[in-house]
Amino acid sequence: MAFATRHFVRAASSDAATAAAKKLLIKHVTIIGGGLMGAGIAQVAAASGHTVVLVDQSDEILKKSTKGIEESLQRVTKKKFADKPEAGAEFIKKTLKNLTTSTDAASVVHSTDLVIEAIVENLEVKNKLFKTLDKFAPEHTIFASNTSSLQITKMANATTRQDRFGGLHFFNPVPMMKLVEVIKTPMTSQKTFESLMDFSKAVGKSPVSCKDTPGFIVNRLLVPYMMEAVRLFERGDASKEDIDVAMKLGAGYPMGPFELLDYVGLDTSKYIIDGWHSLEPNNPLFAPSPLLNKLVEEKKLGKKTGEGFYKYK
């Protein structure tokens, strides 16, 4: 019996080791999109020792991205290395050494382990990108999208690597927010899923897993909550100011739903809810809002335009 137990333990350990060996150790990362999200992901990946290439359409955009990363790193080091300025300077130097930029995605994916897409929230544009990169990336390369609202499965189907495709949804601002949603489609292999979980941990995040359902976890709960606040206001049941105060003082939320809508961008929220409504038109949680539609039509998109549900100076 003792021999059998030892034999079972050795076999189990061997199986675990074999499974671990099959996982892809991600060292080289290509990030498509030099906006806030793409630059933030590039920063945390480079800071954790990964070789990173940040790709966008022009050198001008990439210069702006790099400048933003440098400024963000300086803010991070002021806190992280408050008493050790020399160590902080070395940290910034090492991080930036791990980061290069390019305007030609096809030419830089030939040696990458992971491609993370962080471009405009448009399924057609994303599919076109993935279809192109699929022809140039090595067989082992994993593709991932940072989308917050689109179906990962539809993007995977634009490629020949459905088993090496998943979602990596980071949150803004990436250097500060600890969460990453790792999305597994019905076709994502266990090896790919575990590699994405490991990568998320390697860049200092706390990953949670979710199936490819609209909004994943956070937005699936958050967007209907914000929309229900708008409906409450539309019906005249309470003022937007009182709704915000109620949720901050009663639920302990740092921002009320209308403040959050203005921060996120009303156009972004409308785009998400419209997409979900087209998928599930009979779901009352995904019903469009006449007021939200009106504000977006008037270009009152929130803080970024100076006015949304509230006015900003």
Residues tagged active-site: 148, 169, 181, 219
Would you call the peptide bond into 173 cis, given omega within 30 degrees of 0 as the criterion?
A: yes
Q: Which residues are annotated as a binding site for CoA?
A: 72, 79, 148
175 φ, ψ (degrees, to nearest 5): -60, -25
Q: Which residues are annotated as a binding site for NAD(+)?
A: 33-38, 56, 121, 126, 148, 172, 304
Find, among 165, 101, 100, 181, the residue nearest to 131 by Cα: 165
Q: Which residues are annotated as a binding site?
A: 33-38, 56, 72, 79, 121, 126, 148, 172, 304
